Amino acid sequence: MAASLVWPALPAASSEAACRAQDVRTAVTAFARAFSDGDLATVDRLFAKEPGFKWYSSALPGKRIGAAAQRRATLLDYFRRRHARGDALVIRSFTFHGNSGGVGHFAATVRRSARDYRGGRPIQVPAKGAATCVAGYAAFVVMSIGGPQHRG
């Protein structure tokens, strides 16, 4: 089962400003680099703290879905385990979809590879998310990394 890339409306954030495309793009790029490098301090800073955090979900490799995806407390352990398996992300494309509900929405295409999936051969997967922004700094409230797209 692939991670869902659709989510219900997010609650409006009262103190955050509208996100700019460049702020969110910078955060997405920083996340991919920190994820791949195992830089947990940076990854931690890039995700909203409770109660703003809603979820981080992923299809294979490293499936994280359902209730587990909503646990901010387990996020860094998850990223630590994925780094130990050589999981790496490279952003191939990025699209900013504007602001609604107090968050800036984005979509991306990601090249992903991990030693524990398909012998480490890279796959291209979709990603989506939303971030709150304050003073040019974006923090993810949701992010979903999809699985391989199969051609029929």
Q: Report whether pLDDT(105) > 50.
A: yes
pLDDT at 122 over 70: yes
CATH number corresponding to 21-145: 3.10.450.50
Q: What is the pTM of this model?
A: 0.87
Tens-digit pLDDT profile for residues 46-78: 999 999 999 999 999 999 999 999 999 999 999
Domain ranges of the chain: 21-145
Q: 43, 31 in Cβ contact below 8 A?
A: yes
Q: Torsions phi, psi of 74, nearest 5? A: -100, 0
Which helix (H) or strand (E) segment is 27 a member of? helix 21-37
